[in-house]
Amino acid sequence: MNLPGLRTIHSDHAHYGWDHALAPRLTVAPGETVTVSCRDAGDGQITPGSTDATILALDPERANPLTGPILVDGARPGDVLAVSILDFAPSGFGWTGILPGFGLLADQFPDPALHLWSYDTGGRAPLAFGRLAELPLAPFIGTIGTAPAEPGPHSVIPPRRTGGNMDTRDMRAGTVLYLPVEVDGALLSVGDTHAAQGDGEVCGTAIESAMDVTLKIDLLREVPLAFPRYETDGPRPGDAGRAGVTATTGIGPDLLQCCRDAVSGMIDHLSRTRSVSAADAYMLCSVAADLTVSEVVDAPNWAVSCTIPRAIFQDRASV
């Protein structure tokens, strides 16, 4: 995308937590467009030569680096940033990993595992999970937010009222994200870009991939907003789910346990029917399966579904 007057903030302007005391790296006026160069969630520690053992050597202090902060001229507490996500320039390399102690089923998967991805940046060819499955390229921003008013530093891992690590795959081209402003200048930061992910990101990682992201930043005055809100434009890219899904469920009085049961059921199903390891099935669920609340009104039990598109499997079989 070639836009006149486009400004760029490079990935060497990175930080590792939310803190409104950080000096801004770029100042923009409302209505300006900027390209943000984002590192991957592992901060470049995982390379095409990495192995499962690399996971154990990762420096946790370098997780989810953020590019920024970007000061928005005139923004003040009580305002809202309207961030239009315009375009992505993916790097072509990514990774998905099981990090011991992290993820929905951390107790079931104590050992590290790593899957490396090399993909066509234009989306002309699918992203291959070995010989098992092929996923459409669906880039989005995993972490985007404004600085909190409470003095920092604050961890970048949990999402918060001002956005942050929401890992919501609708943060894609064509989406407008509305973020509460708590400090003067808003101090917007962006990072943790993904090439694809399922709703839930159940193993704790998506296809983590460095990318450049082009954004248009607008300012709305004194709009009450308790939490982030967003609007999408059109269907999700390459929505393989339209061709049908296979689903497993979890049902019971504990919503988190329902999530665990639904994902565990899908791992068991894939391991049995596709002859893959449980670790590979877990990672595939994280990047391709959607974890959704199907029913939350029929107390005392709730229902959660874990759905995976049948179209991603290379044999296209329904089992």
Q: Which of 55, 85, 70 is nearest to 15 (CA)?
A: 70
Res 2: pLDDT: 46
Dihedral sign (CA 134, 139, 140, 142): positive
Counting beta carbons within 10 angstroms of the beta carbon of residue 110, is it exposed (0 to 12), middle (13 to 18) or buried (19 or more)? exposed
pLDDT in tens, 115-153: 999 999 999 999 999 989 999 999 999 999 999 999 989
Of 89-98, 234-243, 251-260, 282-291, least confident by mean pLDDT is 234-243
pLDDT in tens, 18-75: 999 999 999 999 999 999 999 999 999 999 999 999 999 999 999 999 999 999 999 9
**Residues β-bridged to residue 94:** 117
Do 190 and 128 belong together in one domain? yes
> Residue 239 — pLDDT band, cuts 50, 70, 90?
confident
- Does 4 have pLDDT greater than 60? no
DSSP string of 131-173? TTEEE----EEEEEE---SS-S-B-SSS-BTTEES---TT-ST
Task: Look at residue 204 and tell me if it is in a domain.
Answer: yes
Q: What is the CATH number of the domain that holds 279?
A: 3.10.28.20
Report which of residues 235 and 210 the model is more confident about. Answer: 210
- Does 3 have pLDDT greater than 90? no
Task: Look at residue 306 and tell me if it is in a domain.
Answer: yes
Q: How many domains does the chain have?
A: 2
Counting beta carbons within 10 angstroms of the beta carbon of residue 224, is it exposed (0 to 12), middle (13 to 18) or buried (19 or more)? exposed
Do 107 and 202 belong together in one domain? yes
Task: Look at residue 177 and tell me if it is in a domain.
Answer: yes
Structure-block tokens of residue 13: 């302007």
Do 248 and 209 belong together in one domain? no
| CA separation for the pair 289, 301 (Å, rounded) | 23
Task: Look at residue 136 and tell me if it is in a domain.
Answer: yes
End residue of a domain, out of 231, 265, 291: 231
Q: Mean per-residue pLDDT for 91-101?
A: 97
Which SS3 state, helix, strand or coil, does residue 225 take? coil
